[in-house]
Each structure stands twice: as C-alpha cells, then as structure tokens.
Amino acid sequence: MAAEPRCLTPIGVVHSPFRQKFGIPRQPRLAPVEAEIELFPPLDGPEAVRGLEGFSHLWVVFAFHAAGEGGPTVRPPRLGGRDRLGVLATRSTHRPNGLGLSAVTLKAVAPGRLILGGVDLLDGTPVLDVKPYLPWSDAIPDAAAGFAEAPPPARPVHFAPAAEAALAERTDGEDLRRRLAAVVALDPRPATGRTEGRVYRMAFADVDVAFTEEEEGFRVLSLEASLR
C-alpha cells in the first residue's frame, strides 16, 4: 500500500532582492545576488545549524509558491518558447508538487539565519528543507546536460546617464551596479514578444529598473526608488 503523502510545512522563508519573478536568473549561481533564509521555530536556534558553517554550499528545497501547476509538458525559454518538452525533462517552475531545488553559496550562518549567495529565489519563497552540498557526491563534471548543455551567455550591459546619476547618489551604488549588471546580462526577457526598442521593467532590491536591448547587449535606462 502506498504511504500517505506527508504534509510539508515551511521551515523558513527567503528574503531576496528579487521582488518579482521577472529578472530572476533561471538557475542558481549565475549572478552574485545575496539573499537570506529566515528559519522558523523550532529550527531558529543554534542547534539546528550546528556544523553547517563548515560547508561552502547548500541545497535549498523550496516551494514555487508563485507558480501555477501546469501539465505534463512545458516550453522552456532556452528553446525560444517554441518547443514542448516533458516537464520532468526541465527545471520549469510549473511542475508536480511545485518543488524547487537550488544549489547556492553559503556565505554566513547564524542562529535562525542563513546568508546565501547566487540565488534564483523570489522574495517570500517558502523553504522546505536545507541540506549541505557534498562535492564528492553531488558534483558530476562529465554529466550530460541534454538540451541545456551550456550556461546562458552573459551579454555586455551599459548604463545610460540617468541610471549612472541614480547610482552615483547611493552609498551602495557600485554594489548595486555589479548585481544589476550581472542579472540583466543573463537576458531575463521572455522568449516571445521581443520587439526592437522594447523597454522592460523589473523590480530589484529597492529600485524599479528599466532596460532595453541594444546592439551587442543591454542598456539600463533608469533606476527609480520603488514605491512599496
């Protein structure tokens, strides 16, 4: 007889600068963006994370709480949104049970708090489990990667004078520039509906960002303080 399905309860929540799905890298460790996991009781004390500080990377098991269920096939953006593949052959957010899995950098550990690097996680993502990454077992350098053979290329990103001026006014301007450039360089645009000169808007950290494609890469047009 099949075992009763177990009800999953979040052990924590992600606090991330990605306030909307648009703009989030399509896999972890592609852009140097930090986030924090806030652990909930009873895992918010020192016992639950004892020994974790010795690990450089973590597996985060999470719920795609902002994605619908979907069916047996999906259209991966990597294939231009045209071809359909089986959902189990992809890392699509629309999947059975809505479970996500990301290998991220572990930057710091404190009771009730894990600081992560290289995240692909939306702000507010429910965390279901965390496990240390074991390179001698988990890393498989000669693995075949199907239709997703290579990482997405990073394209050049330039900042228009208005965006430069907004960065210059901030004490963290250089850090914001570095993180934003890395995110935009990965080309977050949906595969369909791309027209010349189209302006894309994205909420990142405390700013609303407008960018457009230009000849070789992208141009960040403006950064405006978000009205949250």
Judged by the rule CB under 6 A, the positions of this chain that interact with ligand SAM are: 21, 24-28, 64-67, 91, 93, 100-102, 120-122, 125
Q: Which is nearer to ligand SAM, 94 or 158 (CB)?
A: 94
Q: Which is nearer to ligand SAM, 18 or 159 (CB)?
A: 18
Q: Which is nearer to ligand SAM, 21 or 50 (CB)?
A: 21
Give the distance, in angstroms, between the CA of residue 180 and the centroid of all CA atoms in the same chain.
13
Report the C-alpha gap between 120 and 128 in whole angstroms: 16
| Cβ atoms of 126 and 36 closer than 8 Å | no
Report the C-alpha gap between 87 and 90 in whole angstroms: 5
CB of 62 to ligand SAM, least distance (A): 6
CB of 31 to ligand SAM, least distance (A): 11
CB of 58 to ligand SAM, least distance (A): 12
CB of 124 to ligand SAM, least distance (A): 7
- Within 13 A of 168's CA, how many CA atoms are on the CB side? 7
Looking at the DSSP assignment, which residues form a beta bridge with residue 85? 74
Neighbours of 175 (CB within 10 A): 14
| Cβ atoms of 154 and 185 closer than 8 Å | yes
Q: Which is nearer to ligand SAM, 65 or 170 (CB)?
A: 65
Q: Which is nearer to ligand SAM, 28 or 166 (CB)?
A: 28
Q: Where are the alpha helices (DSSP H) in the chain?
A: 135-138, 161-168, 173-185
CB of 103 to ligand SAM, least distance (A): 8
